[in-house]
Amino acid sequence: MSSSAEQTAAVHPDPAKAPGGDHGHHRGGVVKLAVGAIGVVFGDIGTSPLYAMRDTFAGHHPLPLDRLHVFGIVSLMFWSMMIIVTLKYVTIIMRADNKGEGGSLALLALINQNISGKAWTSGIVLLGVFATSLFYGDSMITPAVSVLGAIEGLAIYEPGLERLVVPLVVAILVFLFFIQSRGTAKVASLFGPVMLVYFGVIAVLGATSIMQMPEVIWALSPHNAAAMFINDPLKGFLAMGSAVLAVTGAEALYADMGHFGRPPIRVSWLVFVLPALVLNYLGQASLLIRNPAALESPFYFLAPQWFQWPLLIIASMAAIIASQAVISGAFSVTQQAIQLGFMPRMTIKHTSEHAAGQIFIPVLNWGLMIAVIILVLVFQRSSNLTAAYGIAVTGAMLIDNFLLAVVLFHMWKWKPWLSIPVLALFFVLDGAYLSANFTKIPDGGWVPLAMGLAIFTLLTTWSRGRQLMRQNMAEGTIPIEVFAKSAHSSAARVPGTAVFMASTNIGVPSALLHNIKHNKVLHERVVILTVAIQDVPYVDASERCSIKDMGNGFYRMTLRYGFLEETDVPAALIRTDTCGEPFDMMKTSFFLSRQTLIASSKPGMALWREKLFAWMLRNAASAMEFFRLPTNRVVELGSQLEI
């Protein structure tokens, strides 16, 4: 595909604050939104009971199946959910929203918007980018482990069907990825009710098991976790690598906040999800103490024989929903990364006329599908995949603490006597979980680390390459005021409007220089247009466009978009009435600069990274498509550029 380096540079973060407006969030009753949040937000953490308890006692670092360790693990899981999910994410981090939006990139943009010029700012940005990279590793592992964990119920109930588990999982995943292009609006309306049934079922199954051993409720006391670590510190520490599976998906609460808002997510967690998970884990603990043989699958053996197949169907649907939510999240994060300048342009298709957030990115979809299927075929069982699961999640959670520290100290101005103990609690717990997961690197934990490092390299290479490219193109630029006066008298003017896309508001774009050099003509109206992506999710329509009249038919225009908005340039131009006469697309030509990058030994990036950046640039989606320009009104002018 053709690639425009200058247009790649044109979409860049603008550190200036842009006024926020309506974020496009759905309005409605808290209960209705809470049900919707159950379907979208809590699929990952909701399906953890499928494998968390089993892998803690039968995984790569198994624990003795006795009262001390069973009670200790349930206590550890419960207080981890209370501290990490309830206190850290639901109570504190969700308050750090960027005009209602959450997630590592949205938080990074918020920090950049409020704090700039600090020596440590670049380090915080790199941490946030690495957290995003780990998210992609998580988005590959979650569908594989969730669907495998659910479908393995076939082999639990009918051992003879074990050979069908992997083929069936692959078939489900292929179907799931193939329906992405059709949009998920209709299917998503079922997500909430299905997950509500799922949480209701696992709560009832857990409560039924608790009734057969009521004293298991005392497992929630924190002294049980303390007793386990005191009695057997090494095994207790190693068990944290599996116990963390109980809180996987906690970061989704923050990332998906923009879809539902804080109150519905808090209601969903505190009223529906948390009680159901606690009851189910207590029920599994009761079952394991009463019947150690149930360790093969304490989740599925909670069900009476007559309800085993319905439970398998309900759990499988919940796993598919969890996978769908992660895939949709990957699309949203990628859109943010593109707009904020960390990824090359990709083709983004909108699958809904009403919901702007429902998008489909073909390259990412098929790449994820291949990666997920490879994981299933290589690891075969969910118990093997869970070894790879924890590192990405705990790594992202630990990085969130650093971002939170910036927010508490520099934005919210919390007193040290309050912020330091809170942060210390989060760092100690997340650090312990991450350290425990490092022990699983030989057993598969290297997979998300390798994925994360590869994606981190791509993101940082793209960001740095764009920065060097803009600097190179800015060298020796001619002030537009000088150019307008000289060009007006030295070139013939022809009817119509020419829009020249520019990377910055300074100087003359190379496409304009090449046009006058080779064609010796200028249009009656020349608009030098820069698209600036703001550090907010949405920009008010009243603040969309700013125009400066340079005289002699020259105009300097800036279009501002939020990092969640579609950059539809023609639509914005048609609504503009302060740039001379109204824009007529049939009389308007768009000029793009297409640069061919040549890797060189100039200082800036290693030669291999320059070649990687050039490859990414060549394979980026067309600037014409990204800016929604009419295909028959675009002219590309090329040149070579060294970085």
Residue 573, pLDDT > 70, answer: yes
Quick one: pLDDT at residue 386?
78
Q: CA-to-CA distance for 256 and 248, rounded, in angstroms?
A: 14
Tell me the three state secondary structure of residue 2. Answer: coil
- Beta pairing class for 521-534 and 492-501: parallel
Q: CA-to-CA distance for 66 and 260, rounded, in angstroms?
A: 42
Band of pLDDT at residue 606, cut at 50, 70 and 90 = confident
Quick one: pLDDT at residue 254?
78
Structure confidence by residue, pLDDT tens digits, 367-412: 999 999 999 998 888 878 877 777 888 888 888 888 888 888 888 8
Quick one: pLDDT at residue 26?
42
Band of pLDDT at residue 421, cut at 50, 70 and 90 = very high
Least confident segment among 1-5, 24-28, 193-197, 434-438: 1-5
Least confident segment among 344-358, 458-472, 511-525, 559-573: 344-358
Q: CA-to-CA distance for 62 and 50, rounded, in angstroms?
A: 17
Quick one: pLDDT at residue 581?
84
Tell me the three state secondary structure of residue 547. Answer: strand
431 or 111, which is more confident: 431
Q: What is the 3-state secondary structure (H, E, C) of 177-200?
A: HHHHHHCCHHHHHHHHHHHHHHHH
Structure confidence by residue, pLDDT tens digits, 441-467: 887 778 888 888 999 999 989 888 888
What integer best gives the mean pLDDT of the chain?
82
Band of pLDDT at residue 4, cut at 50, 70 and 90 = very low
Least confident segment among 79-83, 148-152, 384-388, 550-554: 384-388
Quick one: pLDDT at residue 35?
79
Contact call for residues 576 and 547 (beta carbons, < 8 A) = yes
Band of pLDDT at residue 171, cut at 50, 70 and 90 = very high
Domains and CATH numbers, the chain: 41-463 (1.20.1740.10), 477-642 (no CATH)
Rounded to the nearest 10°, the torsion over CA 425, 427, 433, 439 is -140
H or E element at residue 592: strand 588-598
Each residue of 208-227: b (16+ CB within 10 Å) or e?
bbbeeeeebeebbeeebbeb
Band of pLDDT at residue 585, cut at 50, 70 and 90 = confident
Residue 601, pLDDT > 80, answer: no
Q: CA-to-CA distance for 504 and 517, rounded, in angstroms?
A: 21
